[in-house]
Amino acid sequence: MSINRRQFLRRAGMVTALGLGSSLVITGYRKKDAAASGYAKAPKDMPAKRWAMVVDMSKFKSEADFEKVIEACHKLHNVPKFPNTKDEIKWIWKDDYHHTFAGGHNEYLDEHVMHSPFLVTCNHCDNPPCVRACPTQATFQRPDGIVAMDFHRCIGCRFCMAACPFGARSFNFKDPRPFIEEVSTEYPTRTPGVVEKCNFCYERLADGLMPACVEKSNGGLIFGDLDDPNSEVRKIVGSKLTIRRKPELGTQPSVYYLVGGGEHA
């Protein structure tokens, strides 16, 4: 029997398709998964519909007040310290008023006010553009409003960094481990090539603890459920003058800055 090239290719193709098809069928049959089992939330897990944070800048008086808060977060989460700003990774940091609330400044504003420091972190927006942009759902919004990262799934395309209007996201340009001064075993480190940011300490919330920064802030950071009318954050946001970063973009940030200071609710 002699066959020409075309016939040969056609038959070879058919055999391959048959083989692939039947192997799929077989694996389909075999797919019997895990034993009967269930998943539940941790008993101490704090439920909320909308976690939010109020930053009361009047409570941050000295450099040390900022450092304490930033250190608490960065140490706990193994955030590396890179010597150059290019590879820098930040979860929570400070910037001055004029850069934090960029755009349309009163030109007569006092120099002192212009350069007064503000704490900045991920805003955990209600309509997060980063979540919309992510092509793998590696960054996603939890039912409690926290915008979280699944470092296992991130492909490192950095679309979320382009989408975030707040500069809240950092990318692991290099292996972070050699740049972690004191390793914390409470939280994993990251692998090179993934994006990271503040997670509102959801791992601590699951243990019934407040976020690390809040704990170290001496009342300067107030954390709670905005959906709960009796929560402290709701009372402040409802009755005091607070501002948010770039509200005009419609992302609805959940980090509020209490201006004017004074005693809150």
Partner 1 sequence: MLEKALSGSKRYWIWVTLLLGIIAVGFVAYMNQFNNGLGVTGMSRDVSWGLYIAQFTFLVGVAASAVMLVLPYYLHDFKKFGKMVILGEFLAIPAVIMCMLFIVVDLGQPMRIMNVILHPSPNSVMFYDMIVLCGYLLINLVVGWTTLGAERKGAPSPKWVKPIIYLSIPWAVSIHTVTAFLYAGLPGRHLWLSAIMAARFLASAFAAGPAILILLCFIVKKVSKFDPDPGVGAIQSLVKIVRYAMIANVFFYILELFTAFYSNIPEYSAPLRYIFFGMDGHYSLVPIMWTAVVLAFLGIAMLVFPSTRMNKATLIIGLLSIIIANWIDKGMILIVAGFVPNSFERVIEYAPTLNEILVTLAVYAIGMLLVTILYKVAISVREEKAN
Partner 2 sequence: MYKGGKIIASLIIFAALFTIPFFYNMGKVNAGPDVALETPAIQQLSDKQCVESPEFMRANHMKLLNQWREEAVRNGQTVYTNSQGTEFQISLQDTCLKCHATGSASNAVVLSNPATTTTGVSNPAINESPEFCASCHDYSAVEPKCWSCHFEPKEAAK
Give the footprint of partner 1 on residues 124-153 (CB under 8 A). 129, 131-138, 153
Residues in the chain: 265
Choose from partner 2, partner 1, none: what does 83 bind? Cβ within 5-8 Å by kind.
none
In contact, 175 and 132? CB cutoff 8 Å: no
From 6-14, 29-37, 48-56, 96-104, span contacting partner 1 (CB under 8 A): 96-104
Q: Phi, psi at residue 21, to the nearest 5°?
A: -60, -45
CB closer to partner 1, 133 vs 206: 133
| Residue found by looking up tokens 């400070």 in the block | 94
Choose from partner 2, partner 1, none: what does 179 bind? Cβ within 5-8 Å by kind.
none
Interaction between residue 170 and partner 1 (CB under 8 A): yes
Interaction between residue 251 and partner 1 (CB under 8 A): yes
Give the footprint of partner 1 on residues 197-226 (CB under 8 A). none
Q: Return the DSSP state at 196.
A: E
| Residue found by looking up tokens 């960029």 in the block | 102
Which residue type is seen at 202?
Y
From 17-25, 37-45, 115-123, 232-240, span contacting partner 2 (CB under 8 A): 37-45
Contact flags string 99-118 toward partner 1, x per CB under 8 A: xx-xxx--------------
In contact, 198 and 92? CB cutoff 8 Å: yes
The number of beta carbons lying within 10 Å of the beta carbon of residue 158 is 15
Question: Which among 122, 83, 89, 84 is positioned nearest to 193, based on CA atoms?
Answer: 89
Interaction between residue 229 and partner 2 (CB under 8 A): no
Shortest approach of partner 2 to residue 60 CB, angstroms?
31
Rg (CA), the chain: 25
Q: Which of 75, 158, 235, 244 binds partner 1 (CB under 8 A)?
A: 158
The first and second tokens of residue 46, run together, are 């704090």
Contact flags string 156-185 toward partner 2, x per CB under 8 A: ---------------------x-----x-x
Interaction between residue 109 and partner 2 (CB under 8 A): no
Interaction between residue 148 and partner 2 (CB under 8 A): yes
In contact, 95 and 146? CB cutoff 8 Å: no
Q: What distance in Å separates the CA atoms of residue 55 and residue 84, rounded to the nearest whole number?
A: 28
Angular region, 158: left φ>0, alpha ψ -120 to 50, beta rest: left
In contact, 152 and 42? CB cutoff 8 Å: no
Choose from partner 1, partner 2, none: what does 206 bind? Cβ within 5-8 Å by kind.
partner 2
> Which residue ranges make up the site for partner 2 (CB under 8 A)?
33-43, 45, 140, 142-144, 148, 150-152, 177, 183, 185, 188-191, 202, 206
> Which residue ranges make up the site for partner 1 (CB under 8 A)?
85-90, 95, 99-100, 102-104, 129, 131-138, 153-159, 161-167, 170-175, 191-195, 246, 249-251
